[in-house]
Structure 1
Amino acid sequence: MNERKNYPLITAVVLIIPIALGYGLNPELADGIFAFGFDFVADTPDQKNIFRAISGLYLGMVGLWWTGIRNPAYWHAATVSLAVFMLGLAAGRILSFLVDGLPSINFIGGTVAEILLGVWAVQSLRTHQNNN
């Protein structure tokens, strides 16, 4: 198996697990992180529920990406989902930039990372499309 084709998936797993856990496992800790870095505090049950749902979504995607790393039969689906996930997040953020104005540098940096990882996944699909 060509290990290089898994690099975008591995990178996403490593990056997204702590983000997902920060969103969902400990709302009080997440509140502190968001208050410090993003000028935002999730202080109602509804807001915390949204962050826990996002956490579940992120961890579900990580599960698919991990499956694609471990089982070549799922590599294509995992890599397509990575591209859609990252480029979809980036598209939503870019729309927000246009409609709402520029956010903090944290979100701008996250958008750049999402674009790079999404493009890397697309490139990996093109490069390794016949290696499955």
Structure 2
Amino acid sequence: MTIPKNLNLVLSGIIVIIAGFVYGGHPTVIMPELLGFEVVDLELKNMLRAVMGIYLGVGLYWIIAAFKPKIWYGATMCNVLFMGGISFGRTVSTVVDGISPLFTPALILELLFFGWGLYNLKKYKEVI
């Protein structure tokens, strides 16, 4: 069975959009429940909602690119850079700060999507 090359973008897009809503949807309620800290400052609310916007935009780009061959390669490159960058940061945190039971599954998924994206970039050359 062959896994469609677009599945990486669709799945990671959906997951990142959901994460965006978790981070910024209602931070004064979600963050205390999920991460154990209060979000009171306007600047922190603004930052979390900005992160939400980034995640929504990037996730939507990946999903659109899964169905648009002309932008597939660029979106996959973006996906690899995003997943590689975020997994690098989580790896640094794991080494420096310790293992996070909450975010270790995220790290594993990010590393999988990173590797899957690299594989797809190598297997499917850029369409110009």
TM-score band, normalised by shorter chain: 0.7 to 0.9
Matches within 5 A, 1:12-91: 12-31=12-31, 35-91=32-88
Tell me the distance in 2 between the aligned counterparts of 1:30 and 1:64: 25
Deviations 1:15-57 (A, max 9, x none): 11111112223223423xxx33333332221221221111111
Inter-partner Cα distance in structure 2 for 1:81 and 1:37: 28
**Partner residue of 1:126?**
122
Show structure 1 runs of 4+ deviating over 6 A. none
Unaligned runs of 5+ in 1: none
User: Considering only aligned residues, what root-mean-square deviation do their CA atoms show, in Å?
Assistant: 2.1
Aligned residues: 127
Is the contact made by 2:87 and 2:110 (CA closer than 8 Å) also made in structure 1? yes
TM-score normalised to the size of structure 1? Answer: 0.85
Which consecutive residues of structure 2, in runs of 5 or more, have no partner in the other structure?
A: none
- Asked if structure 2 preserves the Cα contact closer than 8 Å seen for 1:22 and 1:29, the reply is no
Q: What amino acid is aligned across from residue 95 of structure 1 in structure 2? A: V
- The 2-side partners of 1:30 and 1:126 are apart by 39
Give identity over the alignment, percent.
Answer: 28
TM-score (ref. length: structure 2): 0.87
Structure 2 letter corresponding to 1:75: W
User: What CA distance in whole angstroms lies between the structure 2 residues aligned with 1:102 and 1:46?
Assistant: 28
Amino acid in structure 1 at the alignment position of 2:112: L
Choose between structure 1 and 2: higher helix proportion. 1
Query: Is 2:28–2:38's contact at 8 Å kept on the other side of the alignment?
Result: no
